[in-house]
Structure formats: C-alpha cells, structure tokens
Amino acid sequence: MIEVVFLGVGEAFDEALPNTSILIRCGAETSPVTLLLDCGFTAPPQFWREEPAVNALDGIWISHFHGDHFLGLPALLVRFREEGRSKALTLLGQKGIESFTRKAVDLAYPGFYEKLTFPIRFAEVEPKTDVAIFDLTLQTAENAHSQRDLALRIDARGTSIYYSGDGKPTAESMALAKGSQIIIHEAFDLETEVPGHGTVTGSIAMAKRCKASHLALVHIQRNARRQVLEKKQQLTDLAGPVNVVIPEPGYRVMLDPN
C-alpha cells in the first residue's frame, strides 16, 4: 500500500496555498519508506505538521532548481539538526543537486552545512538511467519548462506514480508516464498555453492517453484556480475513466498494487 499526501498544491506566488510538495509513504512493515517530492520555500511547515518524527524521512526528490520547488531545503535540514536527527538523508535530483544544495544552505544559514549532525547523501537521477533506491525504481524525463525540469516516475511494490514537477509534457515525459496509476501534473491554466507550463485540459488528455487511473492537478495559477474548480464537473466528464482531483493541502490517495 502506498499513501500519497499532498502537503502543498500551489504555484510559486499563491498567498492562499503552499508550494506544491508531495509526501510518499510506502508502508511495508519491515522497511517503510518515506519520500518527499519537492521542497519549496513554503513547504517545510506543511511537512512538519504531517511528519513530526525527525528520522522518518528517507529522501527528498528535487525536480528543478526554482525556489518554489527547492528553497525550503535549508529550513528543513537545519531543523533536522536542531531536533537531533541521526539518520542519513538522501537528496535526489538532476546533475548539480549537491552543489545547489550546499549553496542554498550556505546562503540561508552560513556555516551550518558543516554543522549538520546527520549524513547527507546525493544521488543524481538522469534520463535514460534507472535508479534503484529504498526498494523503489526511479526514472526521469525532461519536461518543457523555463528551467531544466525532470519529471519523475516511481515504481514501488506494484504501484506506479508519475510527478511532473513543472512544465508542459514532452514526448519523453509522456512515454515515462504511460501506465502510471496516478499522474500528478502541473496545470498552470485551464487551457491557455503559457510558455513552460502545462494546462488542465492538456493534463487530462495526457492521463487518458497514458491510461492512468488517477490524475491530480496541482500548481494551478492562483487566479485560474476558481475557474478550474467551477468547471470540475465538465472536466470530470472530459476525463472519462480517469479519476480527476484538484487536491487541497492534506488530501490523501491510497494506491493498491496492480
């Protein structure tokens, strides 16, 4: 059983909703795994409310290096230090994940990276290379975004999760998402193409084409969100067999193995 918890669902500058950030819990009794997908500047308080155990988190995936997906890391790491974390933490992302993390921590809290009380490990997960970690298989593909963004597919104990990060789908990311049980996709506008971003209607078309069971629409532009919510029934009808959700912070999905 896999639990997907939507800690935040907002875009970068939404005053009402925290940055999009997803917590994945793989609940095997013998070796439970907890993975955080993205950690923007408003994400850490959501994580702390959901997961108070300082050693529970195994890894953090960073889709790209925009602040609303990345700059919550310094606060998260320094609080782990304050609370006495001892367990190693793995940071996963594209090439440069280690140097970007060090720079971010040193900018926010100069000198604190060397004072962390727990080991930090780094793992680069680039396209066309499968990475096996925590009893999960991770694969990535580039999305079309203003900064290099890697969409992530997680195959875990008979379940499959696709997370877009930011960006419009590409042929490579569409292929990666094929057959996923849940697609979590950035949908910046209902149907207007904004450079470097996806749309609600485009995400629905992708989910149907990829034969996903569930589609979660996140990172919706703050002024477009009301329109999207008002059209929820039309979107449900358009999606057909795909279960479309527009999650709020705290929304949960439980996935059973295929």
Q: What is the CATH number of the domain that holds 39?
A: 3.60.15.10
- What is the pLDDT confidence band of residue 29, given thresholds at 50, 70 and 90? low
Comparing CA positions, the residue from 198, 182, 179 lying closest to residue 190 is 198
Number of folded domains that form the chain? 1
pLDDT in tens, 9-19: 999 999 999 99
Comparing CA positions, the residue from 152, 145, 153, 244 lying closest to residue 204 is 244
Comparing CA positions, the residue from 256, 21, 58 lying closest to residue 138 is 58
Cβ–Cβ < 8 Å for 167, 184: no
CB atoms within 10 A of CB 25: 18
Taking only Cα atoms into account, the Rg of the chain, rounded to an integer number of angstroms, comes to 17
258 domain residue, yes or no: no
Q: Tell me, what's the pLDDT at 88? A: 98
Contacts for 48 with CB less than 8 Å, ≥ 6 apart = 79
- What is the pLDDT confidence band of residue 233, given thresholds at 50, 70 and 90? very high
pLDDT in tens, 38-53: 999 999 999 999 999 9
Share of the chain above pLDDT 70, in %: 98
101 domain residue, yes or no: yes
Beta strand pairing status for 182-186 and 159-163? parallel
pLDDT in tens, 73-107: 999 999 999 999 999 999 999 999 999 999 999 99
231, burial (CB in 10 Å: exposed 0-12, middle 13-18, buried 19+): middle
The answer, yes or no, to whether residue 34 has pLDDT greater than 90, is: yes
- What is the pLDDT confidence band of residue 110, given thresholds at 50, 70 and 90? very high
| Token pair in block for residue 1 | 């059983």
* Owning domain of residue 208: 2-252
160 domain residue, yes or no: yes
Comparing CA positions, the residue from 180, 228, 167 lying closest to residue 208 is 180
257 domain residue, yes or no: no
